[in-house]
Amino acid sequence: MANDMLTNAQMRDIEALLHPYTNAATHRQVGAHLIERGHGCHVWDDSGKRYIEGMAGLWCASLGFGDEELIEAAREQLGKLPYYHLFGGRTHEPAIELAEKIKELYPQPMARVFYCSSGSEANDTQVKLIWYMMNALGKPQKKKIISRRKAYHGVTLVAASMTGLPLNHGSFDLPFDFVKHTTTPHYWREARDGETEEQFSARLAADLDTLIEAEGPDTVAAFISEPVMGAGGVIVPPKGYFEAIAPVLRKHDVLWIDDEVICGFGRTGNWFGAETLNMQPTSASMAKQLTGSYVPLSAVAINQQMADVIEAESARHPALGHGFTYGGHPLGCAVGVKAIEIYQKRDILRHVRQIAPVFQARLRQYADHPLVGEARGVGLMGALELSPDRKSAATFKAPGKVGARLMSELLKHGVILRAIGDSLAFCPPMIITEDGVEEIFAPMEAALDATY
Which residues lie near ligand PLP (CB under 6 A)? 58, 118-120, 123, 152-154, 226, 230-231, 259, 261-262, 287
Query: What is the DSSP-derived secondary structure letter of residue 3?
Result: -
Query: Which residues share a beta bridge with 167?
Result: none
- β-strands 42-45, 35-39: how paired? antiparallel
Residue 67: φ, ψ to 5°: -70, 115
| CA gap 371, 350 in Å, rounded | 34
Contact present, 381 and 262 (Cβ < 8 Å): yes
Instruction: Give strand ranges (E) for 192-345.
Output: 220-225, 255-259, 283-286, 298-302
Is the bond preceding residue 296 a cis peptide, omega within 30 degrees? no
Nearer of residues 119 and 428 to ligand PLP, judged by Cβ: 119
Give the shortest CB-287-to-ligand PLP separation in angstroms: 5
Give the shortest CB-2-to-ligand PLP separation in angstroms: 29
Give the shortest CB-59-to-ligand PLP separation in angstroms: 6
Give the shortest CB-324-to-ligand PLP separation in angstroms: 12
Nearer of residues 118 and 451 to ligand PLP, judged by Cβ: 118
Residue type, 151: A
Give the shortest CB-128-to-ligand PLP separation in angstroms: 15
Give the shortest CB-295-to-ligand PLP separation in angstroms: 12
Concatenating the DSSP letter of every residue in 112-142 gives EEEEESSHHHHHHHHHHHHHHHHHHTT-TT-
Residue type, 306: M
Query: Which residues share a beta bridge with 284?
Result: 258, 301
Residue 332's nearest CA partner among 64, 57, 85 is 85
Residue 328's nearest CA partner among 72, 123, 88, 83 is 83
Nearer of residues 58 and 202 to ligand PLP, judged by Cβ: 58
Contact present, 292 and 70 (Cβ < 8 Å): yes
Q: Which residue is nearest to ligand PLP (CB)?
A: 119
Query: Which residues share a beta bridge with 383?
Result: 376, 425
Give the shortest CB-334-to-ligand PLP separation in angstroms: 19
Nearer of residues 31 and 421 to ligand PLP, judged by Cβ: 421
Nearer of residues 224 and 245 to ligand PLP, judged by Cβ: 224
Nearer of residues 123 and 451 to ligand PLP, judged by Cβ: 123
Nearer of residues 123 and 161 to ligand PLP, judged by Cβ: 123
Residue 53: φ, ψ to 5°: -90, 90
Residue type, 274: A
Nearer of residues 154 and 185 to ligand PLP, judged by Cβ: 154
Nearer of residues 31 and 119 to ligand PLP, judged by Cβ: 119
Measured in residues, the chain has a length of: 452
Residue 180's nearest CA partner among 154, 230, 206, 216 is 216
Give the shortest CB-76-to-ligand PLP separation in angstroms: 25
Give the shortest CB-16-to-ligand PLP separation in angstroms: 22
- β-strands 50-53, 42-45: how paired? antiparallel
> Distances in Å between the alpha carbon of 354 and those of 228, 342, 381, 429?
20, 17, 14, 14
Nearer of residues 110 and 444 to ligand PLP, judged by Cβ: 110
Give the shortest CB-155-to-ligand PLP separation in angstroms: 6
- R_g of the chain computed on alpha carbons: 22
